[in-house]
Amino acid sequence: MLGGHVTEISVVIAMFGVITVLGFAASRWRRPEAAFDQKWGLEEWGLGGRAFGNGICFFLLGGDVYTAYTLVALPALVYGLGAPGFFPVAFLAITYPLIYVALPRMWSVAHVHGFVTPAEFVRARFGSSPLAVLVACTTIIATMPYIAVQLVGMRAVFQAMGITGDIPLILAFGLLAFFTFNSGLRAPALLAIVKDLMLMATVLIVLLLLTITQGGWGHVFSAASTQFAHSKGGSLLLPANAQLSYVTLALGSAMALFLYPHTMTGVLASRNRATVKRSLSLLPVYTLMLGLFALFGFAAISAGVRPLGGNSTTILPQLLQTNLNGWGAGLCFAALSIGALVPASIMSIGAANLFTRNIYRVFFKRDATAGQETQVSRIASLVVKLGALAVIVSINVGNAIDLQLMGGCVLLQVFPAVALGLYTNWFHRRALIAGLIAGLVSGVAMLYQIPGTDASGKVISRHFGGDSWPLSHLGLDTKASIYVGLVALVVNLGVAASLTWACRWLGVPRGRDMTDPSDYTADEHDTTVRRMSELIDGELPRQAKHARRGGVAAVR
């Protein structure tokens, strides 16, 4: 079973040994000496002490946004669909202008009030604990499938090396669980540097080899065009009936990306606003790399690569094996495997922080100490990983991918409270709750109506088969479809706006906004910025708040 893959497996095992050492050593990396004299708090474990500089923040954000699943699945999508498979490149081009203006505001208000999660911001902004809990639960549920699909990418790599079964996958994720438990966010931050450098080297080497060995990219595109001409499933150009789905999927995905807890966690761990802006301004470099990975799908067609065991996600690993020797392929496989561990680790930390600060602290122990919060987050991160592992082990890969796409539709429903909340508190807290529920219900109802199909278009499941809702359900004579998440968001916003007007007309009391306009532009050296040890459950003491508004530096 492993014949011919001994060198590749040896290289991957050796690299796993290296990242194990780095993962456990990261607990002391860039950790101030003062932190060793007291219980390790959630600010240290879950946000790396909020002290990451330009380089680390850049690699950390790149490491959690550009996941192994994305890098493995994108060539597979292009291999099967052609032009529609490039949608991640399109939505990332839309994402960066949006998050460049929004996320520095989140950094500032979070550092003034000591927020660890966006749900805490929602509670303070709209004065509603129920809304914050609903945002936290929605985000955790939407993140679980995203963690699970990282295992899809790792499994594809293992399968290409002849490793089958769930035991290797369980061992690899067990390794991830232990060094995350021990080192917190510092572990994936350190490993992200290793992972990203290896991936950049991989894409440059493979691009050069493909250009030399396959007769140039003109030949590659010609071969892809010929295959798509003889198949029903793909095209080098975007089909007319797929354009609406493509545009709305790209827009909706762009609006949802920065709502994921791993993106927020990477931003909140940054040292200052300038670090956030610099890192975000450089991330399009990764988008260029992602576009090159997408082209590997066409290269796989030209090279005659076929899915291994019917699993389309093995396209890229098999292409690497075709063009590289054992050592080269082993290093590329190691890069992809580490590329699954890093984002999964950050996602689990973000989800665990949400649970600890917005569910455990609210419902179970309001007076939890810093040490207790950290311990709960550590345990919660293990539970999240076990849940993701159970998803992959118990259901087929295709369903896991569909769950991840549907998770994005779910997460998009917190957009009014989190993203719009950074700019306005016009919405009424109860209207936001009703809108979020309406968006979730309508979104799930539409997802239920979407059949699942295989590559040939044959229906293989009647419900929950994707995230593009056919407009034919409205009685229209068309094959066009639209991204469910965006439609559900329109319902969400419509309900929230209507009920806000109704609540104002009826005189329903609004929640107290604990933030000030100046909170959203505060920077590292401003007197309003505090460490969590100086704060009381996300709120400055009343006398300090009063002094701050009077322009006096207030210290508790």
Average pLDDT on 111-123 reads 92
Among residues 182, 170, 160, 191, the alpha carbon closest in space to that of 392 is found at: 170
- Checking if the pLDDT of 460 tops 90, the result is no
Question: Can you give the pLDDT at residue 411?
Answer: 94
Q: Please give the Cα distance from 133 to 264 (Å, whole number).
A: 17
Contact of 131 with 123, CB cutoff 8 Å: yes
Q: Please give the Cα distance from 431 to 505 (Å, whole number).
A: 13
Average pLDDT on 61-82 reads 81
Average pLDDT on 131-149 reads 91
Helix pair 315-323, 284-302: axis angle to 10 deg: 80
Most trustworthy range by pLDDT among 14-28, 343-357, 420-434 = 420-434
Question: Can you give the pLDDT at residue 540?
Answer: 41
pTM of this structure:
0.88
Q: To the nearest whole number, what is the mean pLDDT of the chain? A: 83
What is the band of 117 on the pLDDT scale with cuts at 50, 70, 90?
very high
- The DSSP bridge partners found for residue 270 are 52
Residue type, 158: F
Question: Can you give the pLDDT at residue 552?
Answer: 32
DSSP per-residue codes, 108-173:
HHHHHHT-SSHHHHHHHHHT-HHHHHHHHHHHHHHHHHHHHHHHHHHHHHHHHTT--SSHHHHHHH
Contact of 70 with 290, CB cutoff 8 Å: yes
Percent of the chain with pLDDT strictly greater than 90: 25
What is the band of 190 on the pLDDT scale with cuts at 50, 70, 90?
confident
Q: Please give the Cα distance from 316 to 424 (Å, whole number).
A: 45
Q: Which residue has the higher pLDDT, 248 or 240?
A: 248
Question: What pLDDT, in 10s, does the model give residues 192-235?
Answer: 888 888 888 888 887 887 777 777 788 888 888 888 888 766 78
- Checking if the pLDDT of 543 tops 60, the result is no
Lowest mean pLDDT among 106-120, 165-179, 180-194, 305-319: 165-179
Question: Can you give the pLDDT at residue 2?
Answer: 55
H/E run at residue 238: none
Average pLDDT on 460-471 reads 79
- Checking if the pLDDT of 531 tops 80, the result is no
- Checking if the pLDDT of 556 tops 50, the result is no
- Checking if the pLDDT of 42 tops 90, the result is no
What is the band of 428 on the pLDDT scale with cuts at 50, 70, 90?
very high
Question: Can you give the pLDDT at residue 493?
Answer: 97
Question: Can you give the pLDDT at residue 140?
Answer: 93
Q: Please give the Cα distance from 539 to 115 (Å, whole number).
A: 9
Q: Please give the Cα distance from 290 to 149 (Å, whole number).
A: 17
What is the band of 418 on the pLDDT scale with cuts at 50, 70, 90?
very high
Q: Which residue has the higher pLDDT, 351 or 286?
A: 351
Question: Can you give the pLDDT at residue 532?
Answer: 54
Contact of 81 with 318, CB cutoff 8 Å: no
- Checking if the pLDDT of 66 tops 60, the result is yes
Three-state DSSP class for residue 99:
helix
Percent of the chain with pLDDT strictly greater than 70: 88
Question: What pLDDT, in 10s, does the model give residues 374-413?
Answer: 889 999 998 888 887 777 766 665 555 667 778 889 999 9
Question: Can you give the pLDDT at residue 36?
Answer: 41
Average pLDDT on 285-299 reads 87
